[in-house]
């Protein structure tokens, strides 16, 4: 089991020559790429990974606007929502297709978008311009177009950040935000999209919903139950980056165990790879002996095997 643990992570590749042996030994096959990767000879970089590993999910944050790891003239989601009101669906289709092609061009197959949080130009800086607005009906409609255009290019997409960062003031990159109760409006885009389309990936937020749990969604089986039982979602559930400031009060070992135990299937980690390996070695015994963790890991492998385009 431990030799396959890497399959449960989506990591930022670094120091390939030094780390490739460990990538292979622990089955790290899912990678998340950043701007610096595309500023180098990316084809050569990726071919080195392909040569040694059986790669699975190759991801990027390519939302449009300021969150674009691959350079290009891509309007932000909020800008495109405003254009949609004046020009109609075609402008959204062209925008989404252009973004999908920017991902496809580099041989990647997963865009960690769209962001379906409800937020407008008055949102906090960490979320500003990254969403289609505060109207859940409009958000659902434009997110559906985004997903549809990516599917045409065989690019997986990922809804985020469940259960919704609407009106959150604290930046989870820096600290742990909270809300008193779950926001029904924020759930609406997920409900409607899951009714209409097969969704393969949903990312949760580092966010405490006090009426649901004392732990952040990243560690909350109660939040996962809402996705699995209330919304009948059967795809993969991702954490946000476990290296973010919101989780600074937990050791990395705890973050890994709690995320897996809660029911998350794919853990994003963009910190130092040596730190991740050390943490995994430290909890190796628990990962191999805990019946709960073994069952959760087995479930995750099953979900990955059954992710399909249609």
Model confidence pLDDT, tens digit, residues 198-246:
899 999 999 999 999 999 999 999 999 999 999 999 999 999 999 999 9
Rounded Cα–Cα distance for residues 12 and 6 (Å): 12
* pLDDT for the residue 197: 86
Which domains are seen in the chain, by residue range?
A: 2-305 (3.20.20.300)
Q: Which residue has the higher pLDDT, 82 or 198?
A: 82
* pLDDT tops 90 at residue 263: yes
Contact 104, 153 (CB under 8 A): yes
Give the three-class secondary structure for 70. Answer: coil
Tell me the two tokens of residue 41: 């000879």
Q: Would you state the pLDDT for residue 310? A: 56
Mean pLDDT of 115-127: 95
The sign one gets for the Cα dihedral 202, 204, 210, 215 is positive
147 vs 133: CA distance, rounded Å: 17
> 81-90: string of b/e by CB count within 10 Å (b at 16+)?
beebeeeeee
Angle at 196 between CA 308 and CA 63, to 5 degrees: 70
Q: How far is CA 300 from CA 22, 222, 252, 304, 309, in A?
A: 21, 18, 20, 6, 18
> Does residue 93 register a pLDDT over 60?
yes
Q: What is the DSSP string of 228-266?
A: IIIS---SEEE---TTSGGGTTS-HHHHHHHHHHHT-SB
Give the residue from 41, 95, 48, 46 showing the smallest Cα distance to 72: 95
Find the mean pLDDT for residues 91-95: 98
Rounded distance between C-alpha atoms, residue 236 and residue 243, angstroms: 20
User: pTM above the 0.95 mark?
Assistant: yes
pLDDT of 309 over the 70 cut: no
pLDDT per residue as tens digits for the range 12-40: 999 988 999 999 999 999 999 999 999 88
């Amino acid at each position: 089991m431990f030799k396959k643990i890497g399959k449960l992570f989506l990591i930022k590749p670094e120091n390939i020559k030094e780390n490739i042996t460990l990538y292979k030994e622990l089955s790290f096959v899912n990678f998340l790429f950043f701007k610096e990767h595309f500023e180098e000879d990316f084809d050569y970089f990726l071919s080195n990974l392909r040569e040694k590993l059986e790669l699975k999910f190759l991801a990027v944050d390519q939302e449009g606007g300021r969150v674009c790891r691959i350079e290009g003239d891509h309007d932000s989601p909020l800008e495109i929502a405003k254009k949609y009101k004046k020009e109609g669906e075609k402008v959204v289709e062209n925008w989404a297709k252009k973004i999908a092609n920017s991902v496809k061009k580099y041989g990647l197959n997963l865009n960690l978008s769209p962001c379906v949080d409800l937020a407008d130009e008055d949102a906090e800086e960490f979320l500003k311009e990254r969403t289609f607005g505060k109207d859940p009906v409009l958000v659902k409609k434009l997110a559906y177009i985004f997903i549809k255009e990516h599917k045409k290019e065989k690019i997986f997409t990922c809804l985020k950040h469940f259960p919704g960062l609407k009106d959150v003031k604290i930046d989870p990159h820096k600290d742990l935000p909270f809300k008193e109760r779950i926001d029904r409006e924020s759930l609406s885009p997920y409900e409607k999209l899951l009714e209409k389309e097969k969704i393969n990936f949903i990312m949760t937020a580092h966010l405490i919903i006090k009426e649901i749990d004392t732990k952040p969604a990243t560690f909350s089986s109660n939040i996962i139950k809402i996705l699995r039982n209330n919304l009948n979602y059967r795809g993969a559930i991702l954490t946000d980056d476990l290296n973010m400031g919101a989780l600074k009060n937990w050791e990395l070992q705890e973050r890994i165990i709690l995320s897996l135990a809660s029911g998350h299937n794919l853990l994003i980690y963009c910190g130092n790879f040596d730190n991740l390996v050390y943490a995994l070695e430290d909890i190796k015994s628990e990962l191999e002996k805990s019946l709960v963790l073994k069952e959760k890991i087995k479930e995750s492998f099953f979900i990955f095997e059954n992710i399909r385009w249609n």
